Amino acid sequence: MASHFGITPPEMLNGAKQKPMDRVSFLKSLTDKDAPEVRKTQYFELGANRAIYHDGWVAASRISAPWLPMAADSTPLAAKWELYHVEKDFSQGDNVAAKHPDK
């Protein structure tokens, strides 16, 4: 499968079959400041920290800072969820979930 740049990823690397790359180009966002978002929803995690982005909002559950080791007694399912309207608050400074815990 060739990429947008004419580079074909290897099917094998050091004797290991490679999985196809799952990707969406973000080139337009670098060349056109008014380019629409390509992805509307994206889930991501690092260690036990996890979040989901959807249409300008991020819901996140954080056990610890990614650069700190997770405590042995940490329970990911007990972590509180936070909600940020990153379209208006890109620094994630205003936790909407803290203001509206019933939601």
| DSSP helix/strand/coil, 76 | helix
| Tally of domains within the chain | 1
Domain with 84 in it: what CATH number? 3.30.1120.10
| DSSP letter (8 states) at residue 52 | E
Total number of residues shown for the chain: 103
83 has which bridge partners?
Answer: 59
pLDDT tens for 30-62 read 899 898 877 789 998 887 789 999 999 999 998
Decide which of 57 and 78 is more confident.
Answer: 57
Please report whether residue 14 resides in a domain.
Answer: no
Please report whether residue 26 resides in a domain.
Answer: no
Give the closest residue to 21 by CA, choosing from 4, 42, 33, 37: 4
Query: In which domain, by residue range, is 63 found?
Result: 40-103
Please report whether residue 97 resides in a domain.
Answer: yes
- 29: pLDDT strictly greater than 80: yes
Please name the residue that has the structure tokens 């991501």: 44
